[in-house]
Amino acid sequence: MKVIDQFKNKKVLVLGLAKSGESAARLLDKIGAIVTVNDGKHFEDNPAAQILLEDCIKVITGGHPLELLYEEFALMVKNPGIPYNNPMIEKALAKGIPVLTEVELAYLISEAPIIGITGSNGKTTTTTMIGEVLTAAGQHGLLSGNIGYPASQVAQIASDKDTLVMELSSFQLMGVQEFHPEIAVITNLMP
């Protein structure tokens, strides 16, 4: 992994669980961040939150209390399903707290080159085909993003000998700032 020191001992809020939020929380915890997870689902209906709490990651569920941002977070990582007009995100940005996507977090820590695939249609097919081409060429392509496993989960196990092949939805790309894959593919654009 690369650039992990920028997260070490920093307070990070992960907003929204599901697969990508859980993966981001685990990655951040692994690289030494002080992680708080906030999810709208109630704790008793939220197996991912229960498991994270068992793993000693702070979890706040049942809503997105704005008071949570009184804590001095250095960073927020958002689940792609949480829109940017969410009051927590708006308040974080107003306070100057950077908001990263899970895909951007994966990019920042991955040693592997990244091929990013997006578009209106054909993302999964194209991602799968690129993975198969890499395999046929004797290389190790790791599929992630909207296909397979969350990008941050795959990025933490990838080495510079691997290639991350990421299927990326518009929701995953919205708000990225640093993310620059080595190869970018746009399958098509439709209204």
What domains, with CATH codes, occur in the chain?
11-104 (3.40.50.720), 106-186 (3.40.1190.10)
Q: What confidence score (pLDDT) does residue 3 get?
A: 62
pLDDT per residue over 122-136, tens digit each? 999 999 999 999 999
Tokens of 45: 């209906």
Contact of 102 with 152, CB cutoff 8 Å: yes
Residue whose C-alpha is closest to residue 190's, from 99, 102, 117, 122: 122
How deeply is 85 buried, as exposed, middle or buried, from its count of CB atoms within 10 A (0-12, 13-18, 19+)? exposed
Compute the average pLDDT of residues 22-51.
Answer: 94
> Could you tell me what percentage of the chain is helix, strand and coil, using 3-state DSSP and rounding each to the nearest 5?
35, 25, 40
pLDDT per residue over 85-108, tens digit each? 999 999 999 999 999 999 999 999
Is residue 4's pLDDT more than 80?
no
Q: What confidence score (pLDDT) does residue 130 get?
A: 97
Is residue 165's pLDDT more than 90?
yes
Contact of 154 with 144, CB cutoff 8 Å: yes
Report pTM. Answer: 0.90
CA angle 154, 82, 164 (to 5 degrees): 20
Q: What confidence score (pLDDT) does residue 175 get?
A: 87
Could you identify the residue written with the tokens 């046929």?
136
Q: What confidence score (pLDDT) does residue 145 get?
A: 92
Span of 4-8, 50-54, 156-160 with lowest mean pLDDT: 4-8
Contact of 10 with 4, CB cutoff 8 Å: no
Share of the chain above pLDDT 70, in %: 98
Residue, of 4 and 114, whose pLDDT is higher: 114
Residue, of 89 and 191, whose pLDDT is higher: 89
Side-by-side strand order, sheet with 34-39: 58-61, 34-39, 11-15, 75-78, 99-101
